[in-house]
Structure 1
Amino acid sequence: MSVSDEFHFFPCLPPELRRMVWRFCLPSRVCEIDAPYDQCAFEENHVYGPPCELQTSTLQNSRPPVITRVCHESRAVAFETGCQLNASYGHGAPDGFEYRRAITTWFDPSRDVIHLNWTPIYEVEFFGCYTGEPLALLAWYAARFDLRPSFMCASIGKFEHLNPDQISALKQRPNWLVVMRTIIVHCDYKSARESGLFGLLGDARIQIVDVADQARVRAYIDFAEKMELESTDAPRRDIPRDYQSFSQQSTSLMERDLRERMINSCGKKVAEELPAIRPAMMFRYCPMMCNHTGSQRLKVREMERKSRLPVRGRGRGRGVQ
């Protein structure tokens, strides 16, 4: 006897129970307030260029949850706490800050965390898109909605020193996450949904995990490696070996790395006065199989490499939300 995965009596349930089920289906997401830039999202050196252009995961992560497209009732439940984050949410932001945003992003303050992709290299690649202090804007958003903020580790380091405005922004929130490493999970939607790692319905495309949660980090890394090994689009031997490393660093090693970066950026005394700043890892689900030999993107990268041409740039301001 076959088992049906449909529950035909769901419409007969009391409205209160149906709404509880819909709420359970809502994703807990990473809300990006700006677009990622692949050339500075990965700290490892990649011969063929970054393993993913990141735009697909950002675009899909910005869309309303799956349940908003099921029925009127489910859509209403999603909009109880969620909305489209756009320019209107910037009213009251730190003076002098302006960021040109081309698309809106779904935002649920009751479930989401907020993330800033900006690093100092943005000032070179996307001049004119930012004015003011991006970290101050992140702190402002986090304070307004009582969220835990996160930003990229490339903002701090041996050659990046925090200015007084940035230090002041860090002191505005009690807890921060710093993304030390980004891993791309290239797989199909069905696999992502069934893994349970990207939301119940696979619509939480980006996740940030504190490195102290070693079991959860290991689950994401194992899944990412498994998807590349078992890809139906291209066997492992056709994937450049230097694209991503799936090794897992110890918590203590990443904590020490972050601590040294903070000391180099603002000095030991100031670093000790800052609130809790924890190292984290970012996992991004992308269905485009960007780093597989069958993808058009990789074919272009390979042609450029063989012709000894530099990897294509994005031009000034291209790809920024």
Structure 2
Amino acid sequence: MLSNVMESLTIASSKTNFSDLPFEIRKMIWLYCIPSRAIELEVPPDQRLPSHSATCISWTTHQNSRPPVVTRICRESRQVVLKDCGGPIDHNEARPSTEYKVTKMPWFCPGRDIISWSSLSCTLPYGPKALGDHSYFISYSLQARDVVVPGELIFPFRYLMPPKEMFNFKPNFSQTESDGFRVLNDFMVCLQIVTLHMSPEEALNSTISGRTGDSLVHLVDVYDSAQIKKISGEVKSQDANTELIFDRLLQTETLHHEVDVWKEHAKLNWICRMFENYHANRSDQQFEHDRRMNLPSRELECFVRHPQDTSPGEVDHDRWFKSYVNHNPPRFDRFMFDMSIPWVQWAYNDVPNFRPVIMFRLCVRNCAQLRSTSFRQEMYSGRYPPEYQKGPMRCQYEAMWKLEEPEEKAMVAESRKTLKRL
């Protein structure tokens, strides 16, 4: 509709000044410039992984959580955005952990922005609770346009992981059922984060940065091969890990096969964890009720031999389930659920719809030089005094947030130029 209005104005007068337009049309233009962003809550996905690639995503997280650049154009644009396009999230009241928050009050526009839950299983123990109180996350997720969670919390996607990132994850996100997370029966799952390093000019001219250059986190459906190829064609040579990820992303047939296998294993893992948590927490009364209803009394009774398993010998359920608990990712190549059990049928229908995506992040800093891999490994190896490890390593942690003023001014200046061209 906005394009039709602007076309009519162009035909009527090619010299119409913006200030001479009716307020309703100016308001439509301001709102058109508001980006749709992925707002990260809790901890950035790779903030504390000691052997992660030599990148630093703190700058991207900080920029992506600021008020839209339109609010810094003039008084009218600021009033329009503040009235109709959300505001800052008050983490002091909402967040269970105040020690590890990476942005104090990120800007959130209900109905337009995407909420990104950014804690990994390896970072969760640092918080006050193992999985915390997710009520604040749920409240914002219900207002958001969509929700995305890290794939490692559901089931690790090893196909896109560089060798250094083969961590022993403990995927147990289904445990959040008691916190009400299961009200979200459909959400995106981030299989891999790809950090793209560009100059401010290259970033603003790319597909990812949005209309005004302040949407620095872009989510792409893993099956959208055309968009992935387009992004790959826009970026220059990156670090070795990013090049490896792009090489595998462009192998479309293999990628789609691996994603299909991941989706099935993620569903099986969700049911296994849900069943394990249920049996671990149920009371004696619940146990008697389940026995009368002919429900499985043990986890092992839900499994049967996989039809593709041709290994000789008897089925050893105890050994398999112990292997499931101790190995990450779990192995589902020998056993499958018995679909004749009513509980299993109900559990399959109750599993959320996982929509796998790839998260692309723009960064205009030379992170490989600012924060080398060796520095990050020393940072988390315990070689520093205890007083520096609170948070952990508060001094280094806060130093990663320090923005250089020239970069800040460059991004604002380029964003203003982009707005003038709209």
Q: Normalising by the residue count of structure 1, what TM-score does the alignment of the two structures yield?
A: 0.75
- C-alpha distance 23-153 of structure 1, shift in aligned 2 (>3 A): same
- C-alpha distance 273-20 of structure 1, shift in aligned 2 (>3 A): same
- Give, in whole Å, the separation in 2 of the partners of 1:86 and 1:110: 18
Residue in structure 2 matching 1:82, options 80, 86, 89: 86
Question: Is residue 2:189 matched to residue 1:191?
Answer: no
Q: CA deviation at 1:109?
A: 0.9
- Give, in whole Å, the separation in 1 of the partners of 2:64 and 2:144: 21
Q: Would the aligned equivalents of 2:113 and 2:144 in 1 still touch at CA under 8 Å? A: no
Q: CA deviation at 1:296?
A: 3.1
Q: CA deviation at 1:207?
A: 1.7
Q: CA deviation at 1:167?
A: 7.2
The residue number in structure 2 matching 1:94 is none
Q: CA deviation at 1:57?
A: 0.5
Paired residues for 1:1-321 under 5 Å:
9-38=17-46, 49-79=52-82, 80-87=84-91, 90=94, 98-100=96-98, 101=101, 103-124=104-125, 126-128=126-128, 130=129, 133=132, 137-143=136-142, 145-157=143-155, 159-166=170-177, 169-223=180-234, 226-228=235-237, 241-242=240-241, 244-245=243-244, 246-247=246-247, 248=249, 250-267=255-272, 269=344, 270-291=347-368, 295-298=369-372, 301=373, 310-313=377-380, 315-317=389-391, 318=394, 319=397
- C-alpha distance 146-265 of structure 1, shift in aligned 2 (>3 A): same
- C-alpha distance 210-168 of structure 1, shift in aligned 2 (>3 A): farther
- Give, in whole Å, the separation in 2 of the partners of 1:261 and 1:285: 29
The AA in structure 2 aligned to 1:209 is V
- C-alpha distance 260-137 of structure 1, shift in aligned 2 (>3 A): farther
The residue number in structure 2 matching 1:232 is none
- Give, in whole Å, the separation in 1 of the partners of 2:144 and 2:365: 34
- Give, in whole Å, the separation in 2 of the partners of 1:108 and 1:19: 16
Which runs of 5 or more structure 1 residues have no equivalent in the other structure? 1-6, 91-96, 230-238
Q: CA deviation at 1:279?
A: 0.8
- Give, in whole Å, the separation in 2 of the partners of 1:183 and 1:272: 32
Q: Normalising by the residue count of structure 2, what TM-score does the alignment of the two structures yield?
A: 0.59
- C-alpha distance 134-117 of structure 1, shift in aligned 2 (>3 A): farther
- C-alpha distance 316-255 of structure 1, shift in aligned 2 (>3 A): farther
Q: Point out the structure with max Rg over C-alpha.
A: 2
C-alpha offsets along residues 95-119 of structure 1, whole Å, 9 cap, x if unaligned?
xx71214611011113101010112
- Give, in whole Å, the separation in 2 of the partners of 1:261 and 1:40: 24
- Which secondary structure does the structure 1 equivalent of 2:213 belong to? coil
- Give, in whole Å, the separation in 1 of the partners of 2:132 and 2:66: 27
- C-alpha distance 221-263 of structure 1, shift in aligned 2 (>3 A): farther
The residue number in structure 2 matching 1:233 is none
Q: Give the number of the structure whose residues are more often helix, by fraction.
A: 2
Q: Would the aligned equivalents of 2:42 and 2:118 in 1 still touch at CA under 8 Å? A: yes
Q: CA deviation at 1:175?
A: 1.4
- Give, in whole Å, the separation in 1 of the partners of 2:233 and 2:54: 17
The residue number in structure 1 matching 2:315 is none
Which runs of 5 or more structure 2 residues have no equivalent in the other structure? 1-14, 156-168, 273-336, 338-343, 381-387, 402-422
Q: CA deviation at 1:146?
A: 5.0
- Give, in whole Å, the separation in 2 of the partners of 1:216 and 1:89: 39
Q: Would the aligned equivalents of 2:153 and 2:170 in 1 still touch at CA under 8 Å? A: no
Q: Would the aligned equivalents of 2:56 and 2:371 in 1 still touch at CA under 8 Å? A: no
The AA in structure 2 aligned to 1:153 is G
- Give, in whole Å, the separation in 2 of the partners of 1:162 and 1:110: 25
Q: CA deviation at 1:150?
A: 1.1
- Give, in whole Å, the separation in 1 of the partners of 2:108 and 2:214: 13
Q: CA deviation at 1:316?
A: 3.9
- Which secondary structure does the structure 2 equivalent of 1:284 belong to? strand
Q: Would the aligned equivalents of 1:35 and 1:117 in 2 still touch at CA under 8 Å? A: yes
- Give, in whole Å, the separation in 1 of the partners of 2:206 and 2:174: 42
- Give, in whole Å, the separation in 2 of the partners of 1:311 and 1:114: 32
The AA in structure 2 aligned to 1:106 is W
- Give, in whole Å, the separation in 1 of the partners of 2:137 and 2:21: 42
